[in-house]
Amino acid sequence: MPDRPAGAFAAYGRIFKALHLLQVIHVEAYRRMIGAQLNVGESGHSLARRVFFGDLRLEACTDACASCVRSPSSMLSRGSRAW
């Protein structure tokens, strides 16, 4: 049997989890916020995969990032500053 502080932390965690799930179910704006955060994280992972596996397509650069064609490292540094 866990000691009293550990049991209190476990109970607090269960309360917080239940409140979070109720908010996800009930509040559409909260679901959208979570979805947006997940999309940002997935975009970062996608960029990391493309850079690591060499699938970074420089021809997709816009005029605002025309220098990245000459220097891929400048494009990566610009992308990291945007995060």
**Is 55 in a helix, a strand, or coil?**
coil
What does the radius of gyration of the chain's CA atoms come to, in whole angstroms?
Answer: 21
Q: Which of 2-6, 9-13, 41-45, 64-68 has the lowest mean pLDDT?
A: 64-68
Tell me the average pLDDT across 45-70.
67
Percent of the chain with pLDDT over 90: 49
Q: Is this structure's pTM higher than 0.85?
A: no
Q: Rounded to whole angstroms, how far apart are CA atoms 62 and 66?
A: 6
- Whether pLDDT at 21 is above 70: yes
Tell me the average pLDDT across 19-38.
94
Domain positions in the chain are 4-82
